[in-house]
Structure 1
Amino acid sequence: MTRIAIMADEKGWHTRQLQAALRARGAVGWCVDLADCYIDTTAAWHGLVIPGFGRELPDAVVVRGIAGGSFEQVTKRLGILHALRELGVPVYNDARAIERSVDKSMTSLLLHAAGIPTPATWATESAALAQRLAIREGARRRSLVLKPLFGSQGRGLERVGHVDGAHRGVPPLDKGFGSLAYLQRFVDPVSEPGYDWRVLVVGARAITAMRRVSSHWIHNIAQGARAQPAELTPELAELAERAAHALGMDYAGVDLVPSASGAPIQVLEVNGVAAWQGLQRVTPFNIAQAIVDDLMDRKMPATPAVLRPGRPARAHG
């Protein structure tokens, strides 16, 4: 039987959805925390220990979540994903894609380089430069969003610059921001309440979308926004697909925001381990099944893994 490792730092609704979708394809999904995986070059020919897989490697890996930790711990966890890919195991999304999306500044840089509309962005270790940017933008009656570089679900965001008619400076960067300022120009809402879109891209194709509506300027479902069905227009689909392609994603949750009349829709973020529970409530088909089908149909051809000399080929699927 095909055995898939679901890399997740916690079990819950998403892992159960993936396991059910894998069972529907005659496969089994085994939840593994990357923190529990390690390197042991005496344990097996490949040098990895993946709990639940003995001396073998999984047939494929779905990355659902990576726990935070020290720089060394996160490096090791991503290193396991890099190693699995180099050993011929399909990894969905692989470590390269996750590194590009977890680092918001790299996401912004790659979107900009690909010509995708995205808000003006700055990332600097200089607190003085961050303050000057807030003053300059504030003088033009603009505000900036200060975000933790590795944050998620809308946690820890602050607006600086021109906010509610007054100037708001950049807070100390060593308190919640890792001594680094990642600043993104705030896009004023076009309606009240405001909204943005989350578009899910699977296998290079946008498959579903929702509007996230909130009276607050943060539109994450985890921060209380309401999920509403949204038409997946050609413009939304194209922008989301281009954004996922720019970061090399197998699947991605792409956040887009409307701009003032005549201005293009802008891509805010691209999420490489995107949650989809809120999106599932307004989507008529099974999202987990779409992800599993793409993994098994596109990423798991019957070709041998990359093995060291002398090892028998192991076919996927």
Structure 2
Amino acid sequence: MTIGILHTTIRGDEKLIIEAAKKRNIQIKLVDVREEILNRKTYKSDFNVALQRCVSTVKGTHATRFFESINVSVINNSTVAAICEDKFITSLLLQKANVQVPDFAMVFNASQAIKAIEEMGGFPIVIKPPLGSWGRLLAKVNDIDALEAILEHKNVLGSPQQKSFYIQQYVKKPGRDIRAFVIDGVTICAIYRDSPHWITNTARGGVASNCPVTKEIFDISKKASNVVGGGILSLDIFETEDGLQINEINHTTEFKNSEKPTNTSISGAILDYSIKVAKKI
């Protein structure tokens, strides 16, 4: 059994997966996609299943599509990746399936943004790029002057993707949010991410601590996982007065800061699931 790890930079997360593989006597083939020639006529794969761990969403997407085209199963598959990498699409599908999410809208100009915010109940709101990670380029907008300035900067300086304005209702959190690690629909562990800042990503300084997996967390995570197609996911969850809400779903999740506080081998669970997928082929 050989698992191919599709990667760019080898982070602490990938090192944990490699170490877990050694303990399980599982062969790992490291595939740096930056050095590969992805040609269907000449490429010869020598692994049973591929685990997509690229930092770059663009490279990861192309690599996933390529290996699927030569009949190599990739975790997570391209359908799951396409949904989860786009926050707007994720929100649409979750809301359609009656999974609770913060109110949201997509607009393409300032006048429509103002109308959308009025429909949500007014400021403050959060503007996010539909594609992106690590809490980058998020803006909490408190009034119309700030809104107009931010949208002007995006229109003048941004890429075409930045000119699609994903607007989300601001959710007042209790100084934290929850990240649930979900594999094949099962929440194996979860962390609180505490921060005095409204952005709680650990990449932005949030501190991880163990979060007990309650029935409410388990149930909403399973339902959300099923909506996007399952696999290896992490779900960012808000605690609100009306219950839990799914904020975002990550399909190439980072977890190196979460194994110790949860006392859970997330890397081991990822490998176990990869073997399970490979055996079904």
TM-score w.r.t. structure 1 length? 0.80
Deviates more, 1:6-15 or 1:176-185: 176-185
CA contact (8 A) 1:5 1:60 kept: yes
Displacement of 1:161 in angstroms is 4.3
Q: How does 1:1-317 map to 2 (within 5 A)?
A: 2-43=1-42, 48=43, 55-67=44-56, 74=58, 78-134=61-117, 136=118, 140-162=121-143, 168-170=146-148, 171=150, 172=152, 173-174=154-155, 175-176=157-158, 178-189=162-173, 191=174, 194-260=175-241, 263-296=242-275, 298-301=276-279, 303=281
Displacement of 1:39 in angstroms is 3.4
Give 1:28's aligned amino acid: Q
CA displacement, residues 244-267 of structure 1 (integer Å, 9 cap, x when unaligned): 11111311110001112xx12111
Match of 1:311 in 2: none
Give 1:15's aligned amino acid: E
Displacement of 1:10 in angstroms is 0.4
Q: Which runs of 5 or more structure 1 residues have no equivalent in the other structure?
A: 49-54, 69-73, 304-317
SS at match of 2:229: coil
Give 1:271's aligned amino acid: N
Match of 1:313 in 2: none
**Distance (Å, rounded) in 2 between the aligned partners of 1:161 and 1:238:** 33
SS at match of 2:223: helix
Give 1:64's aligned amino acid: R
**Distance (Å, rounded) in 1 between the aligned partners of 2:31 and 2:112:** 42
Larger-Rg structure: 1
Give 1:107's aligned amino acid: T
Give 1:299's aligned amino acid: V
CA contact (8 A) 2:126 2:168 kept: yes
CA contact (8 A) 2:210 2:262 kept: yes
Q: Which runs of 5 or more structure 2 residues have no equivalent in the other structure?
A: none
**Distance (Å, rounded) in 1 between the aligned partners of 2:90 and 2:41:** 38
**Distance (Å, rounded) in 2 between the aligned partners of 1:137 and 1:161:** 15
Displacement of 1:77 in angstroms is 5.2
CA change 1:178–1:30 in 2 (3 A) is same
Displacement of 1:20 in angstroms is 1.5
- Work out the percentage of aligned pairs sharing the same amino acid: 24
**Distance (Å, rounded) in 2 between the aligned partners of 1:213 and 1:40:** 45
Aligned length: 275
CA contact (8 A) 2:100 2:246 kept: yes
TM-score w.r.t. structure 2 length? 0.89
Regions of 4+ moved over 4 Å: none
**Distance (Å, rounded) in 1 between the aligned partners of 2:74 and 2:19:** 19
**Distance (Å, rounded) in 2 between the aligned partners of 1:42 and 1:65:** 23
CA contact (8 A) 2:54 2:60 kept: no
SS at match of 1:116: coil
CA contact (8 A) 1:256 1:267 kept: yes
Displacement of 1:302 in angstroms is 5.9
Which structure is higher in RCO with an 8 Å CA cutoff and minimum separation 6?
2
Displacement of 1:276 in angstroms is 0.6
Give 2:277's aligned amino acid: K
SS at match of 1:300: helix
CA contact (8 A) 2:189 2:264 kept: no
